[in-house]
Amino acid sequence: MCQLLCADTESIRVRPWLTAVLLMCGSLFATSATAFEQYTAHGGPVKGLALSPDGRWLVSTSFDYTAVLWSVPDFSERRTLVGHEAAVNAAAFSPDGRYLVTAGDDRTLRIWKMDQLLDETPAPVAKVVTGHSAKVVHLTFSADGQRLVSSSWDHTLGLWSVPAFEKLAFLSGHDGPVNAAQFTKDGLSLYSAGGDGHIRLWDIREARYLQSPVENGWGINVLAIDEDLDLLAYGTANGGMRSVSVSGKGPSVDYVADGPPVVSLALDPETELISFGNSEGRVLIADARVGEIEHDFRAVEGPVWGMVLMPQRDSVLLAGLDDFVTRIPLNRSASPAVAGGERRFHRLDERDNGARQFARKCSVCHSLEADGKRRAGPSLYRIFGRRAGTFSGYPYSSALARTELVWNEATIDALFKDGPDVVTPGSKMPLQRIPKAKDRHDLIDFLKSTTKQE
């Protein structure tokens, strides 16, 4: 019976409740587990992934303020791209492969030339202050490469000319954060997904809102369109993994109706595969043409923030909370294994309040070792007695590099009593305070015992 239902893809297109049956079938069919591979380069959660048009380069972007360039298919780490002053959320390659653009919490675009990326210490050719008043979370080029769009949590989309990277317009109309966007093939229209639950369609030449082809009760986090396949796929904050017809004439497919937020989506027009990732590590991969689920598994611990489908159904690459890029081969007869990547947080000793403070509030950005340059912040190795802004090799903000401050019990205490904005104004350390004196003292005791002071 199971086989019959699974083969009956037409029913699945029109009757979403069959999804559950299909999932059961999937697990019955699973015979062997496929191994996964994990690549480490970041010192913080990985937020985005982008594959170059020629398939030779992968870029991952991270909470650790950097992007990393990897060569494909060996996935060896080639360069760390330093420049952003906060988490890097998104990267996009221009379709001609000449430019890479990155963007993040610092609301800037950094423009990198591909032919300079393998320089010893690659630097962006331009820094563009976007004028967005909140973080930029997504970037997309038009197919002809002449336009770029930035999606921001300030409720707008920025429209940029390429290669000048000059602002042409802000598209406003979303009543909430804008999470993602994609141009139509002719570059004349743009679809955008917002926290207001709308997918909005825009006229690009007039920078004008046209209509909302999708209105969902909950926010829409991700979208992908393919006009040849006649589908507009999206993932929602209440767990919906869906596609509807762009022309309005084809069927809608409800792969999953609800659950934890869907936070990533990839569509490969060549293989016609579509892949959704949610905030609890679930990955669902389907044949987009017939609406049939091929894989549905828990891939990693925590959210799958970024995803790339590799050509020819070879594998899926996942970015997530665990600091790794995880590659899972896709073999129809095997069910992929779960990558249990342990976060490289400081190990937590629940009995020690100082250790707990550090693990929860600092370790995602700071290591305690001499070789700790891969985190968003500098290593705190030998912090006591160290002049601020002097850990060698770390790209400090000029504010911290200039200060005369020396770190000791009193100054570290003040840093978290009054906040970095008061103690080190202009610093790129995010605003945070630890209001309870006991927590600050325990944290300082912990740092004293672990940072190897002289």
* Residues in contact with ligand HEC by the rule CB under 6 A: 361-362, 364-366, 376-378, 383, 388-389, 391, 396-397, 399-400, 407, 412, 416, 427-430
How far apart are alpha carbons 64 and 395 in whole angstroms? 12
How far apart are alpha carbons 201 and 175 in whole angstroms? 14
Please calculate the CA angle 51-57-61 and round it to the nearest 5 degrees: 65
Tell the burial category of 395 from Cβ atoms under 10 Å away from its Cβ (0-12, 13-18, 19+): middle
Closest CA to 55 of 359, 382, 312: 312
Min dist. Cβ of residue 445 to ligand HEC (A): 12
CB closer to ligand HEC out of 68 and 262: 68
CB closer to ligand HEC out of 295 and 386: 386
Min dist. Cβ of residue 101 to ligand HEC (A): 22
How far apart are alpha carbons 298 and 57 in whole angstroms? 26
CB closer to ligand HEC out of 312 and 390: 390
Min dist. Cβ of residue 409 to ligand HEC (A): 12
Min dist. Cβ of residue 320 to ligand HEC (A): 17
CB closer to ligand HEC out of 199 and 376: 376
Min dist. Cβ of residue 378 to ligand HEC (A): 4
CB closer to ligand HEC out of 135 and 366: 366
CB closer to ligand HEC out of 47 and 200: 47
Structure tokens at 166: 């000059």
Min dist. Cβ of residue 371 to ligand HEC (A): 15
How far apart are alpha carbons 145 and 187 in whole angstroms? 9
CB closer to ligand HEC out of 72 and 414: 414
Min dist. Cβ of residue 29 to ligand HEC (A): 43
Min dist. Cβ of residue 362 to ligand HEC (A): 3
Min dist. Cβ of residue 435 to ligand HEC (A): 12
Cis link prior to 73 (omega < 30° from 0)? yes
Longest dimension (CA), the chain: 75
Contacts of 443 (CB under 8 A, 6+ apart): 354, 357, 358, 361, 362, 416, 434
End-to-end C-alpha distance for the chain, whole angstroms: 71
Tell the burial category of 340 from Cβ atoms under 10 Å away from its Cβ (0-12, 13-18, 19+): exposed
Say if residues 329 and 315 touch (Cβ distance below 8 Å): yes
Structure tokens at 363: 């370790």
Min dist. Cβ of residue 379 to ligand HEC (A): 8
Min dist. Cβ of residue 325 to ligand HEC (A): 20
CB closer to ligand HEC out of 314 and 413: 413
How far apart are alpha carbons 368 and 359 in whole angstroms? 11
Q: Is the dihedral of CA 189, 108, 223, 325 positive or negative?
A: positive
How far is residue 262 CA from its own chain's centroid?
12
CB closer to ligand HEC out of 204 and 429: 429
289, HSE (Cβ side, Cα atoms, 13 Å): 7
Q: Is the dihedral of CA 226, 104, 79, 382 positive or negative?
A: negative
CB closer to ligand HEC out of 5 and 414: 414
Q: At which residue do the structure tokens 């200039």 appear?
A: 402
CB closer to ligand HEC out of 171 and 319: 319
